Structure 1
């Protein structure tokens, strides 16, 4: 029975001929499949979320980051201190009120961390 025609290893930069049809030489086996990452915590939605936002802004109507900087600005965003994608819980202990500017800044930093984490 004929065997597969020899082909170079499919690993970048390797030119060893492979004759078994797998496409990879012994030095460069295909990466083993890994278990997918844990799914992010499910977000609270609907009326329950509306009640939680109302309670958060009633307790502290000002942006937490602005207060740290000695500024005064209304909080308009309910923010997760530890993002749900990074394993944070969707509960009142993990939330803070932020203004739009600080929320956007924090969200951008989280997105950039997520991109580098995926590499």
Structure 2
């Protein structure tokens, strides 16, 4: 269940967007050296799923996919893949935006994570 729109979100003419400062902090968290921070950042993306403009959704999905391609923590990877799936559900994120997922060797992952990756790359 998504959290209500935070004060850091702007609404203009029916379009929703996140203010610059919290967006930058979220992006920093998504690429943090600590896997717990990356996991929490991905969870935050999911919590605010209805708060992003189309450009923000694409940017977040691309950053998440690049981070996922290098992820060593299965918990963080699961959160990243879930966030990408949620972002893709709005129809604005395309397979080319998350192409970094193809760099992941699914043979080294649990079956559930393999399924996430296959579903996302199939579009």
Fold equivalence (TM over 0.5): no
Structure whose alpha-carbon radius of gyration is higher = 1
Question: Whose relative contact order is higher, 1 or 2, with alpha carbons under 8 Å and at least 6 apart?
Answer: 2
Tell me the TM-score normalised to structure 2 length: 0.28
Q: Judging by fraction of residues, say which structure has more helix.
A: 2
Instruction: Give the structure-1-normalised TM-score.
Output: 0.29
